[in-house]
């Protein structure tokens, strides 16, 4: 019975939020026709994916990892969904005249800050 009580407490415990670096905080969009109605919003401890047709899903960020590369940084944002399942969102960030995000699995699609 004690194991069930402890397990229940762990499963119901609130997620510890992690903060993202200020350079990532903004609303990001792409001109790619396939994703024209999509967006990505990164705020202090949350990440929101605009899923099209004026819908969005927001998650609490649990960790942020940065790996510096030549010209880019590889970020991995970890977050949990409503069922406390963990997810990873890896992307490249490039600081420049126009800052860019490119998803690890879709490097040809450029996301920029909302104008």
Nearest in space to 55 (alpha carbons), one of 38, 77, 70, 80: 38
109 or 12, higher pLDDT: 109
pTM for the whole thing? 0.83
Helix (H) or strand (E) holding 7: helix 2-12
Helices (H) and strands (E) in the chain, counts: 1, 8
Q: Decide if 101 contacts 90 (C-beta within 8 A).
A: no
Give 55-106 pLDDT, tens digit per residue. Answer: 999 999 999 999 999 999 999 999 998 899 999 999 999 999 999 999 999 9
């Amino acid at each position: 019975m004690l194991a069930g009580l402890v397990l229940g407490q762990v499963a119901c415990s609130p997620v510890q939020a992690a903060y993202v670096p200020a350079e990532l905080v903004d609303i990001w969009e792409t001109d790619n026709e396939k994703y024209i109605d999509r967006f990505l919003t990164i705020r202090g401890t949350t990440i929101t994916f605009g899923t099209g047709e004026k819908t969005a899903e927001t998650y609490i960020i649990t960790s942020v990892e940065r790996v510096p590369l030549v010209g880019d940084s590889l970020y991995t944002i970890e977050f949990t969904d409503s069922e406390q399942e963990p997810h990873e969102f890896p992307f490249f960030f490039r600081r420049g005249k126009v800052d860019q995000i490119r998803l690890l699995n879709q490097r040809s699609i450029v996301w920029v800050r909302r104008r």
